[in-house]
Structure 1
Amino acid sequence: MGVGNKELLILGLLCMLEKCFPECSNGYETKQGKCVDLNECEDWQNKCGNHTSCHNTIGSFYCQCLKGFKNSLGKVNFTGGELTSGQCLDMNECMNNDEICGRAGNCSNLIGSYKCTCESGYTSGNNGTEVCRDINECQKAEINGEDICGERGLCKNEEGSYWCKCQKGYTNYGNKRTPCSELNCDGFRADSGPTPLLGGLANILSLMRNSCLALSNRSAASEEMGDGDALLAKLFTATNAVLSPGRQDRGEDVSVLLSTVDNSIMFIGPQLKKNHTKINTTETDAEIAVQRGNTRPNGLIHLTNENATLYTDWETASGTGTYPGFALAALLSYKNLHNSVNRSFEELKGQEKDGMDPSFQIFSRVVSVVVSNPSTQNLSRSVNITLRHLENTEESPEVRFICAYWNEREAWSTDGCYQQHSNATHTVCTCEHLSSFAVLMALYPIEETFGLLLVNKIMLIISIVCLLLAILTFMFCRSIQGTRTTIHLHLCICLFLADLIFLAGISRTETVGGCRFVAAMLHYFFLGVFTWMLLEGVQLYRMVVLVFNTTIRPLYLLVAGYGTPLVIVIISAIIRPKGYGTDKFCWLSLEDGLIWSFVGPVCFIIGTNVFFFIITVWKLANKFNSLNPDVSQLNKIKAFTVTAIAQMCILGLMWVFGTLLFQDGTMHFKRVAAYIFIILNSVQGALVFILHCLLSKQVRDEYAHFLSCICKPQKKRYSDFSSTNPSSTQSQGSKSGQHTSESQI
């Protein structure tokens, strides 16, 4: 009984354990003695694979591919692994649906997704996974408080874009998304200037005004753009007519021309079809760059032509004010305008060096820089302009290069422009404002040393003394009297007075009237020297060609020798009275062409004498080869010819170097020419005395006779008192008669 009960008790306990811990099927787990659902998705990645989502069910689960992926076996729900149920692969939405982004979008496939890239004027929501739809720019600008069409423009939305309708008098130059800008057509009025304009310049203003009015009167800012290329060609054709030789010589017209062309470029630039335009004519060379868009452009600007180069950036060109939807930068080079503005240097102050004021001249082409920035006088950043020199010249103590601009007062100024670097061919200028620019060459007077000045004065004094001796010789030496001696006498008188005035008054510039008188006297007497030299050539020609009656009456010689230069000086003084005397020397001015009243006659005389001398030498050669030549007479003419040619070479060579001082050339060349001119001018009197007096045997004999009379006066007087021999007296009388006879011969 005890054993039986014990067994029954164990059996009862086993039955109770089976009820508390029941055996659960798949998909369930035992919790608190009960079978409950097992969540298989807690370890879903091992069960479903990559790019899947797990969904738990009662007693089970199933897997699905994520959005953008599809099962490789085409199943939607699956529970097995990749081997039995397939794997989730990326689905190319762009290939499956052509309209997924709309007609204004481009679809780009991503891993498990895609992205729509919309065209300008469209947008796609939900991070680029929706169809591209139109943006209402007008509404957006109104919400954001933006004025995308300007004060006088009305915004009109259209599919994928918008356009600005401009009121009359305003335009966006055919660029429909550009803010409307005011057109100031009155700025192209030909009668708006202070003085009457040249015909060609008035034609430019009329052309631009008509084009401006035509653009201003359009009913709406249509998409059609004006023919800016054709209008630009017409502008430069008209500009060529104004700049043609002989048409442009007034400073005020130059200023109006520069401003008119600049304003015209500003008007035409936005109408050009290309972003870069180059045009080259006989008088101008231009390059224009334009950037369009609703946002300000950035980056560097590099414009160049044969004569200049511009370095700046688009931020400087467009400015910081209201942006009209386009930015412009232009570089214009005028090929011959520097000849018309090679003056007006009064405002160039502070260029003195060592107490010397320089003279100025234009040393590059005139170049204009045009930008759309309305504040060109207050640029945020300086611009660099490289200008090519008219000729290759290095800076030196006598030369300095200056960057200058043409201001509104029709004068050159250096305010805000600085020289950054110069070499023999180019100068780089940095300027804080924009205008028309050029490189000026400041020429400082050649600094003469004290020794050179002293030698010059000493040799001039020697020259004057020699000329005085020559004048006395020609006046009192009876054995050489004749037409040639008369010519030599007055040539020396003119040269003597010219050298005397040159020595005493060439630098006396304190009194304007006195300086002009000195310049006129120098002009007259130096012309007289060459006039008498011409008469000498005429006389030599007559002596060779005419056998008899070769003399010329002295009255005719005086009228021709002194009357001809007098007429030239009187006419020159009447035409250019202010041309006599300069700031530095009492001589003829170089600015108004008066110098040619001296250089012209001198060149004519030298050329004529060369002709006479060639004929003379040819005739002499023929006569020497004849059967019965008069050798003594021919030798005399030969000597006369040689001295005349030598005299012409000396005087002509001196003024050749004097003329070269005022021509273009290097400073070293000009310095050499100046020294040669000073030396020849100083010694010409001595050379004339040597040629016509000391080299003449007749004159030397007269000098010897004169010196013998001076050296023996006491001996003659003593013999007269000590001797009463009549034969002696008779002998002296015969000798005296003999001397008289020789001198007459």
Structure 2
Amino acid sequence: PVCGQHAKCFNTNGSYYCQCVPGFQANAQTINFTAFTGVSCLDINECLDIQDVCGPKATCRNTMGSHNCSCTEGYISSTGQKVFHSNEEVTCEDECLDDPSICGEQGSCNNTEGSYICLCDPGYSNYGNAQARCIELNCDAFKTKGTSGQKLFTKADEILSSGPPGGGSQVSALLGSVENAMRLIGPQMKQNHTRMETQYTEAELQVWRQRAPPQGPLSMSGFAMAALVTYKGLESATNHSFPAPPSDRPGHGHSFQINSKVVTAIVSNPATEHLDKPVTFIFSHLQSRDGSVNYTCVFWDMRRGKGAWSTQGCRMVRSNSTHTVCSCSHLSSFAVLMSLYELKDSFQLQLITWVGLSLSLVCLLICIITFCCCRSIQGTRNTIHLHLCICLFIADLVFLTGISRTENRVGCGLVAALLHYFFLAAFCWMCLEGVQLYRMVVLVFNTTLRPLVMMAAGYGVPTAIVAISAIANAQGYGTDRHCWLNLENGFIWSFFGPVCVIIVLNAFFFIITWLLAHAEFGTASGSTCLRLNLSATFTVTAIAQLCVLGTMWIFGCFQFEARTLVMSYLFTILNSLQGVLVFVMHCLLSKQVREEYAKLLPCICPDLSQKKKYSELSSSQQASSS
């Protein structure tokens, strides 16, 4: 432009002149100028040049060629505009005068510099939010005169100091009264976070308040409150309040004991019987216990008779000897607690375990020595039996010495991993036995299996399974009760899955072997008939062996999960029988092994050998004299 920026050009007869547009002024003491005079237009800062250009209680903000006005905090414009111009004749008024109902019908508005405060009439409250409407207090649920937290818990101390409540109705009355009182007086606390502790109670309360009342079609008091109340010694008054039916009573038939303090959880919303997301609690145990106990999360159900513990809606997430994590889908007027019950092994069961497994270990050790030293039985089948006995021997030894050693978490996990590995290896070697029996019937010659193939199948497969399981879920090895696989999240199927597959495969091989052997008996020659008869005998012993070990782990599944006495006895007896069964079937019932034992017996007992020779000499003399 001829006149430059922010200037307007006016034409005259034979010439022109320039003037600055409104909001700008020339940098020289002149109004009219031309482009050759070197005058430029500069912005006028109305906020500095004109005093109170926007009026009182308003703030001026300069813009290029103009300015804007806005009311200071705590005031609003007379037109409702947030931004206006000084020539629009807009004034700033305080919020209390602009909206008389801003604090509600029973509240008075007190304007302050930049804000306002709502003062509520008696019987009304804005729950500590100074800018919220005053609403009526609903005191139907709690009619005591004292409204302070200290008075509340002092009164609770007076009740608990005279001894634990005598029955379920008294416990329900105490828990319900404290819950209702906390929901009423909690929002009245001046501090957002409050902690109170007396001789018999401990409470922690958190209140969240909005800075301003909620906007839109909402009906809220403008706060949220959560509190936890802990009672000291109340657990002794509720130790026997378990009148639930057997289906709702965990571990029916055992004794119960509360092993944590009683805790009541309270929130401002009273409708918490069905939460969309469960609430998690972590309880500290009053007594540290070993693996002989189970932990159950319960709550005080006031609807059950006069009040009793119930597990409905609560579940135990995880636990150890010192803490238990509970998850519950409700709060309401309930206390979330924890119960535990003893699971002591009887002396008879412990005796059977020690004696039976010791006998099994002795028999397996004899089998290992026999299979290593007897040259007459060396072969593929003997190699399979040798490694089967080694796996069972190590598994039984680890089971006997480490199944209950849950004190050290790492050590317990190692024991569980060893049991997982060697029991899987035992099943893999039994599967190889089924394959070998099948080859003995189908293949007349070259029925042996390569040692490398057997080692890969017998030890490589369980190594891969245990390695993958440990990488996927290392925490699954070891529980608080047993050094075995954790039953949660299906981790136990890393053992039972392969076992089921092996049992099905072995059953298939045994059935096919038996049918083929039975079909060939009628047309077989003498040597072939002997081979088939031997294969059938081996198959029967292998089936018996698989039945004992497979059935043992069927009962073992219930043993570690349900812990019933019958399952415990069956699992222990079958676990003790497997070593004896292997010794009887593969050693005592084998003619070759018996002959080797007969040769070895004189070396061990020379006196017995002398008596045998004397008996033979006497018999020969009698025969010659006659």
| Larger Cα-atom Rg | 1
Provide TM-score, normalisation by structure 1: 0.42
